[in-house]
Structure 1
């Protein structure tokens, strides 16, 4: 059985800050709010982007962002990944000489939070893509949803944050959080790239909406299943159907909706036997909070 490799660390002091304010009754209250800081990503000597992030796992974020934007190729050999905390810069170095000046001119803002960007040729990267076959047990989906939504996290401690979780079977493996859902996915992509982890037997769970960018990134990573307790966008569904990705949303208690790739599902759980969400302890999705 695989074990949890990276879990949220809500007790980490540098990820949140205590702030005092007045509640609806005029009473002074102290709450914790998520930190947000810039991280500038370089590929060799070229500045690529400055992202707003909570500041953990900058090396994974840098590598994952470049990989998901098609700038870091599967054949590329990483020679170094250097992070400077004072300059708030991560530099990813490769044996291959790189120059993406033209590509940077074509970047467009997407619907993601913070500074999510997708480049004009990202859709080209999924043309002709064939995702691996794998069986997905509905019992595993229910187990994952329960484990993830009740796990201690920055979201439960401070809110205003998204999470993405790489899973295998019923086991969450790597749980990343950030102010933007795309950052959390990029961290997982970077971890997989640097650790040499295969994608064919994995499930990606996200707390945010199932948008076109989320579907494209998941497909590019070679992960065949994407699930969320939140809802869908039409373009996200269209792209998932095009590439054959299993897309599951609105996972709450015993309920879910699968709008693409339903052939991978193995219906081994009776929904009537699955406990529904306890409204007193229900974790609101990032979509609910927006």
Structure 2
């Protein structure tokens, strides 16, 4: 019998300009990327240069961030917190109503389904922490040249924040990027993708009804169950071309309930 190592998670406090935002359960890899990604996804920063410094103390379980602009802690703490579902539970300050006010995504790029399935397989084969432990989530960006950048964490939303942070630090433009995730696409996952501007988000598992409704409103293509020669396209933005089989149902309605 093969035994995999246990995945790691640690409580880490995020402190901005001396004020603690929350304590998060995180895997201690790529914490700088997570910090950039979470702060961007939650609207604390608009670009990488908004952060003056980051001090990560793994031993003390803290991340201290200094922002270049004034941080209004009263405004932040007056907003209602929404605790995210799933492992590595996090917190978001954006409600579904807030997300509907994000800019609609504009992109004329389309992709063959066979290409997306191939890249999903490459993503799985190169997810080192998952292969080591069997208990990690991952998020992956695919650029125009087909190159993959992968980040992993105990929490699916943390992994997405990490890859968004990577993209921000590298100053990548979202219009022709693909976001893949191993986790369920829920509304807070969709909001992170929408905030950065990804036109396509794919997952090996399902999307929730709320996420699909937001995706349609914001013109984001959402693809679920990317496995083998299988896929479910929940939206109709026209960015996925079915070149696998004419019989494969690429779109289905989930108006009757969650997937």
TM-score, reference length from structure 1? 0.77
Structure 1 stretches lacking a partner, 5+ long? 1-22, 24-28, 273-290
Is the contact between residue 104 and residue 119 of structure 1 (CA under 8 Å) also seen in structure 2? no
Cα distance in 1 for residues equivalent to 2:39 and 2:217 = 24
1:58 aligns with 2:43: no
Matches within 5 A, 1:83-232: 83-105=56-78, 106-121=80-95, 123-127=97-101, 129-133=103-107, 134-169=109-144, 171-232=146-207
SS at match of 1:50: strand
**1:110 Cα deviation from its structure 2 partner:** 2.4
Residues 39 and 58 in structure 1, CA contact (< 8 A), matched pair in contact too: no
Contact 1:140 1:169 in 2 (8 A): no
Which stretch shows the higher mean deviation, 95-104 or 205-214?
Answer: 95-104
Q: Is the 8 A contact 2:216 2:235 kept in 1?
A: yes
Aligned to 1:70: 43
> Quick one: distance in 2 between partners of 1:98 and 1:162?
32
For 1:23-42, list aligned pairs within 5 A. 31-42=4-15
1:47 alignment partner in structure 2: 20
Change (3 A) 1:143 1:169: farther
* Length, aligned pairs only: 244
Residue 122 of structure 1: CA displacement? 6.3
Taking structure 1 as reference, are residues 170 and 73 closer, same or farther at Cα in structure 2, changes over 3 Å only? closer
| CA 1:156–1:93: 2 relative to 1, 3 Å | same
Mark the CA change 1:196 to 1:258 in structure 2 (over 3 Å): closer, same or farther.
same
Q: Distance in 1 between matches of 2:3 and 2:86?
A: 29
Give 4+ residue runs of structure 1 displaced > 6 Å after superposition. Answer: none
Q: Gaps (5+ residues) in structure 2?
A: 247-259
Cα distance, 1:115–1:142 mapped onto 2, change above 3 Å: closer
Task: After superposition, give the CA deviation of every residue in 1:95-117 in whole Å (9 maximum; x if it has no partner).
Answer: 20102334334102122322222
Displacement, 1:156? 2.3
1:75 to 1:32, Cα distance in 2 relative to 1, 3 A: closer
SS of alignment partner, residue 260 of structure 1:
coil
CA RMSD between the two structures: 2.2
